[in-house]
Amino acid sequence: MDAEIEKTPLWWEYLRIQTDNDKTGNIYSEVIFHLGKTGGLYYPMYLQSKELTQDYSSGFADVLMIKCAIPYGKYFKKILGNRDDLEVTINDYKLKENSTEVDWEARIASERYTAILQEQPGHPEFNEEEASDDYAMDLKGMIQNVTFQLLNKGDEQLRKVEVGGITHKQTTGDALNYYITRETALIKVDNRRVIAGTQIHPISNRSIYRDLVIPHGTPLVDLAGWLQQDKGVYSTGIGSYVGRSTWYLFPLFNTEIYQQRKRTMTIFLMPMKKFKETERTFRVFGDATYVLSAVGKDFQGDTNLSTMESGSGARFTNADNIINDFGVRKGGKFTVQRSKNNWEFTHSKLNATEYAPVKDRRMSANPFVEFSDLAKKKGGVLKLYWENSNPALLEPGMAIKVVYLREGVLKEAYGCLIYAETMQVKLGDVSMKKHSRTTLLYIFSNLKVKA
């Protein structure tokens, strides 16, 4: 170890994770196909890979792809023949550390999905006798790596829901909670509610609207984005995401939410050459998760460039004042006061070159879109790898603190999680029952990674 690291809290956190954590992120995943047309179950040879994409900034729910090793005869007879009525159960077993032995005392995670065949492998020529014998086809056709997209049954139902109408004397946050709660109350899978509740970060727009009109036919999954553009919800962008039976509404570009959130993640950046293949990479204490991330690059904190180019503020006319409060008539003169009719603001006092350009939307009663654009300019996206990860610990828009060492000084950056991509791959030969997971975290932060 570098002596510099050993004398800092980074080293002590590394030791705590090696001794106090949940031991390992390694698992074994079992796949079971439910054959709807012909009936019965089919177990593929093994799960080759599983890719989980969680786009909290522009997505609505998880996107899950799997690749399974299937002999050609079994693929042709069991999968292809049932492709229009195919479901999959994935059972995740936790493994003992440095072993392929299942830890039967740990909880088994199990989820059932609708499976969509993504590609059809090419096939060799079979004679009539071979075509009737799946074992002969297995031998001649070899093993196929077949890809499927897995759809959560609850998410499928939520995508179809449309809303519309008028709410009275409500904020935009009240309206969102009302429509989500009302429309999801009766949506169930296996007699369980798909959405058990909402988790809404305190909204920025506290205006109470006498009549809040939602166009009929608005998809429920798009309602948050529509309200953000029409009236405004958050001043730092908006995310709307479904996961773990909860509908999350949260700001996207808020780098100051760490102290406001109950669930948090602290990421400690460690030198890649020293910590590249550490098996224990996280620990959980209450609602806080602590993660080791091996990096090979340093940070820089210059966020002035984008604001110098496109402005550190905005200026546009307040549309609410056009009808009633645009000016004052006195002594035969109509006087207009610019400060009362224009939205003019900046996000910080940078230097003498700061300016607030007129925006393309020259007139608007919704300043929250412009606030959000400015918030986005105040930071950048950090991409950090989390090896031997556990993506179940992630939360949409999760509050993040990044701790790192630069020139012998311990520094911190803050932000929120806007995207995560987890790749799970099989280890070893055909007989080894072990998978490893690596998650790429995209964090909107007040610091940037040096190129």
Within a domain: 230: yes
- Please state the rounded mean pLDDT for residues 326-331: 59
Report the SS3 class of residue 330: strand
Q: Is residue 38 part of a domain?
A: yes
What is the pairing mode between strands 246-250 and 109-117?
unpaired
* 39 and 128 both lie in a single domain: yes
Residues 227 and 286 both lie in one domain: no
In this structure, the answer to whether residues 209 and 333 fall within a common structural domain is no
- pLDDT tens by residue, 400-414: 999 988 777 888 999
Cα 25 to Cα 106: distance, rounded to the nearest angstrom: 12
| CA dist 114 → 36, 43, 213, 216, 368 (Å) | 11, 16, 36, 29, 39
228 — pLDDT class (breaks 50, 70, 90): very high
Q: Is residue 424 part of a domain?
A: yes
Using CA atoms, how far apart are residues 46 and 426, in angstroms rounded to an integer?
8
The first and second tokens of residue 201, run together, are 């970060």
Contacts 24+ apart (CB under 8 A), 216-219: 216/162, 216/163, 216/164, 216/165, 217/162, 217/164, 218/162, 218/163, 218/164, 219/159, 219/161, 219/162, 219/163
320, 350, 376 - which closes a domain:
376
Say whether both 16 and 111 belong to one domain: yes
Structural domain of residue 35, as residue ranges?
3-57+63-151+257-300+380-449
Could you tell me if 263 and 124 lie in one domain? yes
pLDDT in tens, 145-185: 899 999 999 999 999 999 999 999 999 999 999 999 999 99
- pLDDT-based confidence at 355, cuts 50/70/90? very low
* Single residue among 376, 409, 439 that ends a domain in this structure: 376
Residue 265 inside a domain? The answer is yes
From 250, 271, 287, give the residue that closes a domain: 250
Q: Of 32-46, 70-84, 398-412, which one has max mean pLDDT? A: 32-46
Specify whether 211 is located in the same domain as 287: no
Q: How far is CA 140 from CA 42, 131, 222, 262, 359, in A?
A: 20, 10, 49, 57, 65
On whether both 279 and 345 belong to a single domain, the answer is no
Count the residues in the chain: 451
> Are 429 and 403 contained in the same domain?
yes
Residue with tokens 């020293």: 274
Do residues 236 and 122 share a domain?
no
Residues 292-305 have pLDDT tens digits of: 998 865 444 343 33
**Residue-level pLDDT at 162:** 97
pTM of the full structure: 0.83
Please give the tally of structural domains in the chain.
3
CATH number assigned to the domain comprising residue 246: 3.55.50
Between 273 and 437, where is the model more confident?
Answer: 437
Classify residue 156: in a domain, yes or no.
Answer: no
More confident residue, 345 or 31: 31
What are the residues facing 267 on neighbouring strands?
A: 291, 402
Whether 372 and 396 map to the same domain: the answer is no
118 and 9 fall within a common domain: yes
- Do 429 and 287 sit in the same domain of this protein? yes
